[in-house]
Amino acid sequence: MAKSARYKPKSQRKAQESVRILISSAEIQRRIGEMAKEIRRDFPVEPLHLVAVLKGSVFFLTDLARQMTGEISLDFIAVSSYGNRTETSGEVKLTRDLDASIEGKTVIVVEDILDTGMTLQYLLRVFEQRKPRRIRVAVLLDKPERRIARVRADYVGFTIPNEFVVGYGLDYAERYRNLRDVGVLTLGARDKK
């Protein structure tokens, strides 16, 4: 899986950070194609309502949706995230709600990464109160070692080790989202605290 390419940020401070590619863009695209088929195998004909968790899941959502056949609708929700740190506070707050009701719909929650599971646990509680027909969860990445909440995803792209990753939507302090690959971020000594 791993390749030896590294991204080298230019500024002095960022020069202390480096990203080692963990999953290449080609591997991501291939796996998303498989995931789209897995989801359609489970729900061959019914309309699916894809709900992406902003902002990290946007790239995954658009690639997944374009690989899916049949009727699809999209919506977005946002929750508070890590800010500039690489550790979660464990607190989850809704910062942007869905546009449309999910009542009676088959909802696929689309998440970039399942880490402690606190975000997903919170979202599933919110969604279940709104009486969807069913809810399934698709995550691109799963870090099972970090799990605190008792949640699981129905569709998992890649299971990864306990490392902080960036790229393909995932950020560190809002940077690196635009990398086409997913890579492990190493911080310089000054950034680590």
Catalytic residue (choose from 115, 142, 171, 181): 115
The answer to whether 164 contacts ligand IMP (rule: CB under 6 A) is yes
Report which secondary-structure segment, H or E, holds 184: strand 182-186
Structure tokens at 153: 């995803």
- Nearest distance in Å: CB 131, ligand IMP: 24
Binding flag, residue 132, Mg ion (CB under 5 A): no
Q: Is 97 a catalytic residue?
A: no
Report how far residue 92's alpha carbon sits from residue 108's, in angstroms, rounded to the nearest whole number. Answer: 20
Count of residues near Mg ion by CB under 5 A: 3
Find the helix packing angle between 25-42 and 58-67, rounded to 10°. Answer: 60
Contact residue for ligand IMP among 170, 179, 181, 183 (CB under 6 A): 170
Site string for ligand IMP, 9-48 (x = CB under 6 A): ----------------------------------------
Which residue's CB is nearer to ligand IMP, number 39 or number 122?
A: 122
In angstroms, the CA 170 to CA 163 distance is 13
Surface-to-core class of residue 10, CB atoms within 10 Å of its CB (0-12 exposed, 13-18 middle, 19+ buried): exposed
Return the closest-CA partner of residue 157 out of 180, 141, 144, 136: 141
Q: Is 56 in the site for ligand IMP (CB under 6 A)?
A: yes
Q: How many residues bind ligand IMP (CB under 6 A)?
A: 19
Binding residues for Mg ion restricted to 50-79, rule: CB under 5 A = 53, 56
Contact set for ligand IMP, span 88-117 (CB under 6 A): 88, 111-117
Strand partners, 51: 75, 109
The item of ligand IMP, Mg ion, none sharing an interface with residue 164, based on CB under 5 to 8 Å by kind, is: ligand IMP
The closest of 120, 111, 116 to 169, measured between CA atoms, is 111
Task: Choose the one of Mg ion, ligand IMP, none that binds residue 82, judging by a C-beta under 5 to 8 angstroms depending on kind.
Answer: ligand IMP
Beta-carbon contacts of 67 under 8 Å, excluding residues fewer than 6 positions away, are 32, 33, 35, 36
Contact footprint for ligand IMP (CB under 6 A): 53, 56, 81-82, 88, 111-120, 164-166, 170
